[in-house]
Amino acid sequence: MPNRHQQRGKQMPEPPKAEVYMMAFGPSPVSIQLNVNGQVQSVNCEPCRTLLQVLREKLGLTGAKQVCDRATCGACTVLVNGKRVYSCSILAIDAQDANIETVESLGQDGTLDTLQQAFVAADASQCGYCTPGFIMSATAFLTDNPSPTREDIRKGMCGNLCRCGTYAGIEEALLSMGKTPKPSTLAMKRGKRG
Ligand code: FES
Ligand code: FES
């Protein structure tokens, strides 16, 4: 049976050549090493893979979420050398020499981290999709601002978005961390107060 192009008297387009595939999809997987949550792990991945893709798909660390995938929402936030980073927007291969911390590093022996507990107490989560990113962002924020004001929180946390609108709860959670300072497990591991 003639196909759509033949019915219209058109030539079938040529299938892409192998070199075109190479240009479109880049080089084959390479072995890289990532230091994630204190463990160095070897991963085979294409150089074009983002840190978020490798964390989720290769290492099974699905706490960081893929939402906008374009450095806008912060759902994918992890810490790289203690700084907040949108993991959807850096290549895994470029994170090889860094200390990467994900939300999975928080808490100990099945107990929530104090910051996670503060989120629960303040009812700072609805669907929860943004929450791991907020928690990691807040971990870094509180390390630099242990007793923030509401204004500090609004400015310092503006890189993370919540579609459910739980901002009031998140502010309360972070304010409570300042009022009753308790070290987060991550900060303790780093020898700092969070
Ligand atoms: S998924 Fe990375 S910033 Fe939104
Ligand atoms: S709790 Fe649903 S996106 Fe923030």
The 10s digit of each residue's pLDDT in 66-120 is 999 999 999 999 999 999 999 999 999 999 989 999 999 998 888 999 999 999 9
Residue 162 CB less than 6 A away from ligand 1: no
Fold of the domain spanning 114-188: DNA polymerase; domain 1 (1.10.150)
Ligand nearest 75 Cα, by number?
1
Average pLDDT of the residues of the chain = 88
% of the chain at pLDDT higher than 70: 79
Q: Is the pLDDT of residue 194 over 50?
A: no
Residue 125 CB less than 6 A away from ligand 2: yes
Q: Is the pLDDT of residue 9 over 70?
A: no
Query: For the chain, which residues make up each domain, given as ranges?
Result: 28-103, 114-188
Q: Residue 82 C-alpha to ligand 2 middle, in angstroms?
A: 24
Q: Residue 63 C-alpha to ligand 1 middle, in angstroms?
A: 13
Tokens matching residue 183: 């070290």
User: Closest residue (by CA) to atom 4 of ligand 2?
Assistant: 162
* Longest CA span, the chain: 76
Q: What is the DSSP letter of 14?
A: P
Ligand nearest 162 Cα, by number?
2
Which residue among 50, 51, 62, 86 is best mutated to probe the pocket of ligand 1, counting the most ligand atoms within 8 A of its Cβ?
86
Q: What is the pLDDT, as a whole number, of residue 134?
A: 98
CA 43 – CA 54 distance, rounded (Å): 8
Q: What is the pLDDT, as a whole number, of residue 110?
A: 86
Q: What is the pLDDT, as a whole number, of residue 4?
A: 57
Among 140, 131, 114, which residue's Cα sits nearest to residue 169? Answer: 131
* Kind of pairing between the strands at 83-86 and 39-45: unpaired
Ligand nearest 123 Cα, by number?
2
Rounded (5°) CA angle 148-171-125: 145
Min mean pLDDT across 87-91, 129-133, 163-167, 178-182 is at 178-182
Q: Are 75 and 65 in contact (CB under 8 A)?
A: yes
Q: What is the pLDDT, as a whole number, of residue 193?
A: 41
Q: What is the pLDDT, as a whole number, of residue 27?
A: 84
Confidence (pTM): 0.83
Fold of the domain spanning 28-103: Ubiquitin-like (UB roll) (3.10.20)
